[in-house]
Amino acid sequence: MRLARFLLLLSTQAPILAQKNTTLTARQVIERIQAQVGVPWRADTVDTFKAGDPNTRVTGIATTMMATYDVLVRSAAAGKNLIITHEPTFYSHLDRVDGLEKEHDPVWEAKERFIKDHNLVIWRFHDHWHMHRPDGIMTGVVRMLRWQEFQSATDPGLFALPEMTVAQLAEQMKQRLGIHVVRVVGNPQMKVRMVGLSPGASGPLSHRQRLQRDNLEVLAIGEVPEWETIEYVADAVAEGKHKALILLGHIPSEQAGMEDCAAWLKTFVTEVPVEFVPTAEPYWIVP
């Protein structure tokens, strides 16, 4: 009887023991991603290691929109030492730190120190997650918005929604994506059906090309410099054109795609726990 109980206990603890003793390295995890993503791996890409030793043994994986200091603290506390981030870690697209290092920047130094002290490894997964078919980011955002049935079969960024006002649309997106601050350009009472979705920062040229279409009434984006797409739509509205713009913020406009990334990783990385760690929206509303 005691032997049976011991064997039962051993069998239930086996996965935990295997997890603790895994020799899976960060480099091996990334090699699996490269093999599974379904597109040729580009040599010219930002999808590279940003911090830490790629040969570090992985204890757990955190996927996130941005490897902020807050995300790193929460990931380390949860035992996740490989952080897979969609956006930069060190405040520029290419994550160059030479200027920060030369300036002895105190914010960067504190972040670097935390990474080293907690044996963290950071790798960016941007280009190829977007190249995945379907786009890994867009799929997650559409799921959160519950817009799958309204999505165009030929243009994944175009949606024929039930008619509503711009204000109602903005509120729906705010609630479903869990956003604190949403900004809108245009008449809030204008009724719309055809909506374009451009998460992240796809740029003013892409925005304009969408807005130039007669059948697109409102475009929802992550972010853009205020003197670009925002003023373009403001002029269109002043000219009497049936256009509006909704600014969701970069992080919340793409965040759901990195939650989907965690679910995807779990299908081929089973030795260690994989968890989505959301990035906090930085804005708050002045009362």
Predicted TM-score (pTM) of this structure: 0.90
Q: Are 220 and 195 in contact (CB under 8 A)?
A: yes
Comparing 2-133 with 136-252, is the CATH topology the same?
yes
193/215 Cα distance (integer angstroms) = 9
Please, which pLDDT band fits residue 192 given cuts at 50, 70 and 90?
very high
The DSSP call for residue 279 is P
68 near 85, Cβ under 8 Å? no
Take residue 253 and report the two structure tokens written for it. 């406009």
Q: How confident is the model at residue 8 (pLDDT cuts 50, 70, 90)?
A: very low
pLDDT on residue 21: 57
Q: What is the total residue count of the chain?
A: 287
In what helix (H) or strand (E) does residue 98 lie, and over which residues does it extend?
helix 98-103
pLDDT of residue 245: 98
- Supply φ then ψ for residue 250, to 5 degrees: -65, -50
The token pair that represents 134 in the structure block: 């379907």
Terminal Cα distance for the chain, rounded: 66
Overall CATH class of domain 2-133: alpha beta
pLDDT tens across 72-95, in order?
A: 999 999 999 999 999 999 999 999
**CATH class as words, domain 136-252:** alpha beta
Q: Which of 108, 103, 114 is nearest to 89 (CA)?
A: 108
232 vs 51: CA distance, rounded Å: 39
The average confidence (pLDDT) of the chain is 93
The position carrying tokens 């900004």 is 183
Average pLDDT over residues 186-195: 98
Break the chain into its structural domains and give their ranges.
2-133, 136-252
- Categorize the per-residue pLDDT at 287 as very low, low, confident or very high, splitting at 50, 70 and 90: confident
Average pLDDT over residues 201-225: 97
Nearest CA to 130 out of 38, 229, 194, 236 is that of 38
**Nearest residue to 229 via CA among 249, 250, 244:** 244
74-108: burial string, b at 16+ Cβ within 10 Å, e else: bbbeeebbbbbbbbbbbeeeebebeebeeeebeeb
Pairing status of strand 218-221 against strand 244-247: parallel
Model confidence at 285: pLDDT above 60 = yes
Residue reference for tokens 């959160």: 144
Strand partners, 282: none
232 and 212 in contact (C-beta within 8 Å)?
Answer: no
Identify the DSSP state of 34. H
Confidence (pLDDT) at 22 = 75
Alpha-carbon distances of 204 from 11, 155, 196, rounded to whole Å: 57, 19, 14
Pairing of strands 191-198, 158-165: antiparallel
